[in-house]
Amino acid sequence: FIFQNLAVTTAAAPATSMHGPPANMFDTVPGYEGTVAGGGGGYLPPPMPSVPMPVPEQAPSPPDWHIPSISEDRAREAFATYVSSKCCYSSAPVREGVITNMESFNTYRYRLETFMESRSTEWSQEPYTGQPVDAGVQPAPGPWQIAAQPPAFFQEHKQTIKVPYTSSVKNCHLCLGMGRNPCTTCAGAGNKVCWVCNGSGYRHSDDRCTHCNGRGRENCSSCSSSGSCQCDTCRGKRQLLVFINLNVKWSIEKDEFVAQDSSGLRVEKLEEVSGKELFKDAQNMVYPVRGFPDVSVAQASERFVRDHQVKYAQTSRMLQQRQTIELIAITKVNYMWKGKPNVYYVYGNEFKVNADDYPATCCCSVM
């Protein structure tokens, strides 16, 4: 865009965890060859768009924005609010300080946001209780052919979808289709060493242990003395429904640039405030800003637009982009107190104050 005459998830529940299933447990599904248990296969590249990307609209002529400098009264009010929020700051400099000079150092903040959709797949499992089995009935749709309900633009969300025609039934790999596993508490014995007599059968000299009736062992409560417990993976059903889950994620990637100024205020302070919005553009794909009075802003726009395309287009579908330029007002206030010069800054729409070298602090201690 060209500037001219500008002054100043309903998220689904996570898949059941995998307990080291063997690789041959999973069928080969065309289009999903890289899918592994538990995810980790990376995001899948989207298909090329079937129609050309829409051409960004022509930018309207920007208005002539003018942000007036703040008054001394407004600067004092912001300073007083700031000092009152500090338990160790005396209010004397606010009451007695004399403003000698106020300087404006307005700066620009450029922001580019890309809203995109990413897709990945993973083999998952759940106990088989009679669910439909459809593997091989017909070819499974590709990862990017499955319909997902996107949220509104620039709202992050996640959705998990079971891929059609990938569900099959397998014997549980953990219990080998038995539905139960040896109890880990008693090692399958059904009983364990008595904790009172430590297996001797006696408590003191010839006193018989009443806890185990002198046997030296007690029944295992974990398995009710059976020696085995229900398999946690198949929950005793002996079989698993194995299928591919498609994980869809809508996310926002954001980059910001703040033009340098000579005020002396640290740039990171500007992250706390908002500015006056000079320009906003939201489209499927934005063009870099051109002709902006501050060359560094135009350069940042060109760099960010290019970087987003390179970094995200290969693994995600870019649904919408928006770029904004804000003018952030910074006022440097010079004042005298007790014959010495001091400085504080008032900045942003919120009139936040920064006074790193406040001249009247006391030491606070917490008893």
User: 């902006």: which residue's tokens?
Assistant: 292
Q: How many CB atoms lie within 10 A of CB 204?
A: 8
Residue 33: predicted pLDDT: 84
Query: At residue 9, does pLDDT exceed 50?
Result: no
More confident residue, 111 or 19: 111
Within 8 A by CB and 6+ apart from 122, the residues are 15, 35, 36, 37, 38, 39, 40, 41, 244, 245, 247
pLDDT the model gives residue 19: 55
pLDDT higher than 90, residue 148: yes
**Distance (Å, whole) CA 316 – CA 118:** 5
CB 10 within 8 A of CB 150: no
Please report the pLDDT score of residue 257 as a whole number: 96
Say yes or no to pLDDT of 209 above 80: yes
Residue 270 lies in a domain: yes
pLDDT at residue number 46:
86
201 falls in which pLDDT band (50, 70, 90)? confident
Backbone phi and psi for residue 278, each to the nearest 5 degrees, phi listed first: -90, -35
- Would residue 24 count as lying in a domain? no
32 falls within a domain? no
**Is the confidence at residue 218, as pLDDT, over 80?**
yes
214 belongs to a structural domain: no
Question: pLDDT for 38-56, tens place per residue?
Answer: 776 677 888 876 555 555 5
Q: Has residue 333 been placed in a domain? A: yes
Is 26 inside a domain boundary?
no
Smallest Cα–Cα separation from 261: which of 270, 252, 274? 270
Instruction: Give 59 or 155, the one with higher predicted confidence.
Output: 155
362 occurs within a structural domain = no
Range of the domain at 83: 72-113+249-354
DSSP code per residue over 44-95: PPPPPPSSPPPPPPPPPPPP----PPPPHHHHHHHHHHHHHT-TTB-SHHHH
Say if residue 289's pLDDT is above 50. yes
Residue 267 covered by a domain: yes
Beta bridge partners of 322: 113, 282
In this predicted model, which residue has the larger pLDDT, 252 or 356?
252
| Least-confidence region, from 202-206, 288-292, 298-302, 340-344 | 202-206
- The count of structural domains within the chain is 1
Model confidence at 110: pLDDT above 80:
yes
pLDDT at 16: 41
Q: Which pLDDT band holds residue 1 (cuts at 50, 70, 90)?
A: low
Per-residue pLDDT of 65-102, as tens digits, reads 556 679 999 999 999 999 999 988 999 999 999 999 99
